[in-house]
Amino acid sequence: MRRRQEKRPRGPRKPGWRDPPDWFWAEVEPLLPPALPKGKRGQQPAERHDVFNGIVYVLRTGCQWKMMPREYPSGSTCHRYFQRWVKKRVFLKLWGKGLQEYDERIGIDWEWQAIDSVTVQAPVKGGISQGKTPPIGGR
C-alpha cells in the first residue's frame, strides 16, 4: 500500500518572533551534523536553517509536529531531524555552549546547586519494595 503524499505548499517566509536571530544561528550551525543525503526519489534535503527554526517553533509553542505552520518544512521532516540531532547530542552541546558563555559573561556560582522536587519522578506505588505492597497496619 502506498503512503499518502503530503501536498502542502510552503507558505511565504515571515521572519519574526518565531525564529531565533541570525547571530544565534551562527552559533548553532557548527554544532549540527551535515545535512541528510538526497532522497531516493531525487528529493532535495530540507535546509537545516529552516528545520532548526521549525524545531524551535515546536519547542516554544508545544504544538504537535504535524500542526507546524506551512512556512517551515513538514512536521515529519523536522521531527526526523530532531530525533537525529538528539542522538548526536546537538542540544546537549548547545546547552553546554550556552552555559559556558553565560559563565564567561556573568558568572555561575558552581558551588551552589539545587534540585526542584517537581522535576524528580515519584517512586512507583508501594515505594522501592520491588513491586510488593507493604501490608496495611504494618503487619
Q: What is the pLDDT of residues 64-87, one digit of tens each?
A: 999 988 888 889 999 999 999 999
The string of DSSP letters for the chain reads: -PPPP---PPPPP--STTSPPHHHHHHHGGGSPPPPPPPTT-PPPPPHHHHHHHHHHHHHH---GGG--TTSPPHHHHHHHHHHHHHTTHHHHHHHHHHHHHHHHT---TT-----GGGSPPPPTTTTSTTPPPPGGG-
Q: What is the pLDDT of residues 50-62, one digit of tens each?
A: 999 999 999 988 9
Residue ranges per domain, the chain?
Answer: 47-108
Q: Can you give the pTM of this predicted structure?
A: 0.65
